[in-house]
Amino acid sequence: MHFWVPFTLFACVGGLLMDKVDHVPQGWSEIGSPSPSTRFKLSIALIPANKELLHKTLANISTPGHGDYGKYLNESELKTVVRPSETSTNAVLKFLEDSGIARSDFEQHGDWIDFTADVETADRMMNASFTTYREDTGRGIIIRTQQYSLPDEVARHVDMVEPTTQFPREVRPRKPGSIHSDQALQETIDQNDCNRTITPDCLRTLYNLPLASTLRNTSTHGHIGIAGFLAEYPHQKDFDMFTKKFAPYLVDVVKPRFISVDGERNHSTYTGEGEANLDVQYAAAMGYPVPIQYYYTHGLGVDEENHSLQNLTGASSELNIILLRYLRDLPKSSLPHTLSVSYGGPEKGLPNAYAHKVCDMYGELGARGVTVVFASGDYGPGLACRGKHGKRLDPIFPATCPYVTSVGGTQFINPESAGIVSSGGFSDIFPRPDWQEVEVKTYLDTLGTRLAGMYNSSGRGFPDVSAQMMNYWVVDNLQATAENSGTSASAPTVAGIVGLVNSALIGAGKSPLGFMNPFLYSVARKAFQEVDGGGSKGCSLMLEEPTVSLNATEGWDPISGIGTPDFQKLLSIAMQQQA
Task: In whole angstroms, give the CA distance from residue 294 to residue 226.
Answer: 5
Q: 169-196 burial by CB neighbour count: b if 16+ within 10 A, else e?
A: bbbbbbbebeebeeeebeeebeeeebee
First to last CA, the chain: 49
Task: In whole angstroms, give the CA distance from residue 380 to residue 394.
Answer: 9
Instruction: Classify the C-alpha dihedral 406-412-417-421 as positive or negative.
Output: negative
Where does residue 575 fall: left (phi above 0), alpha (psi -120 to 50 degrees), or beta otherwise? Answer: alpha
Task: In whole angstroms, give the CA distance from residue 41 to residue 351.
Answer: 20
CA distances from 79 to 42, 58, 273, 365 (A): 21, 14, 36, 12
Task: In whole angstroms, give the CA distance from residue 325 to residue 365.
Answer: 10
Relative orientation angle of helices 236-246 and 274-287, to the nearest 10 degrees = 50
- The single-letter DSSP state of residue 250 is G
Question: Interior CA angle at 233 toward 230 and 236, to 5°?
Answer: 170
Element (H, E) at 395: none
- 113 pairs with which residues across the strands? 44, 108
Give phi and psi for 356, each to the nearest 5: -65, -40
Q: Measure the CA dihedral 551/554/559/564, to 10°.
A: 150
277 CB burial (10 A radius; 0-12, 13-18, 19+): buried
Bridging pattern class, strands 10-12 and 106-109 = unpaired
Q: Which of 538, 377, 547, 539 is nearest to 466 (CA)?
A: 377
Task: In whole angstroms, give the CA distance from residue 100 to residue 92.
Answer: 13
One-letter amino acid for residue 334 of the chain: S
Element (H, E) at 206: helix 200-206
Q: Which residues are catalytic?
A: 275, 279, 488
CA distances from 104 to 43, 112, 115, 121, 435 (A): 15, 16, 9, 16, 47
